[in-house]
Amino acid sequence: MIQKRLAADILKCSQSRIKILATQEEIKNSIRKQDILGLISKGKIIKRPVKGTSRYRARKTRIQKIKGRQTSHGSRKGTEGARTYFKKEWMNTIRLQRKTLKQLKNDNKITKQKFRTAYKKSRGGYFRSKKHLLQYIKESQ
């Protein structure tokens, strides 16, 4: 259909995106570009919007994952090291332990010597967590 091709050229899109709402008579009579432009301005020929991939489901699953759902073995695509970078994990734990040790030293709850031994132990990966560190200090006093 020549009219559809002309409309596609004018509107700069493919023929499949052109929708003709005009009557058969109007379409038959419009053979020139000027006639097609007239129909476009009247709203008898329109350009359909581009269909994109919907993000609805992606947003929905993202919200669920933030809540902690949908993270079982079947949903995982990387190894444990790839999913949580081991260095970042170590940095978080060691920073927390060092911060608590400094706080305890500043509040005079532990001596310099105990601080030094605990600091070196934490550097060696002796403590699993902050709780474990505090438990060790409590027992050593």
Boundaries of every domain in the chain: 2-47, 83-140
Q: Are 94 and 127 in contact (CB under 8 A)?
A: no
CA 118 to chain centre: 39
CATH topology classification for 2-47:
50s Ribosomal Protein L19e, Chain O, domain 1 (1.10.1650)
pTM for the structure as a whole: 0.51
pLDDT per residue as tens digits for the range 119-141: 999 999 999 999 999 999 999 88
pLDDT digits (tens, 9 = 90+) for 68-94: 999 999 999 999 888 888 999 999 999
The Cα 115–Cα 127 span in angstroms is: 14
DSSP H or E run through 87: helix 86-106
Q: Which residues contact 47 (CB under 8 A, 6 or more apart)?
A: 11, 13, 17, 18, 19
pLDDT digits (tens, 9 = 90+) for 12-58: 999 999 999 999 999 999 999 999 999 999 999 999 999 899 999 99
Beta bridge partners of 18: 47
83-140 maps to which CATH number? 1.10.1200.60
| pLDDT one-digit tens code per residue, 108-119 | 999 999 999 999
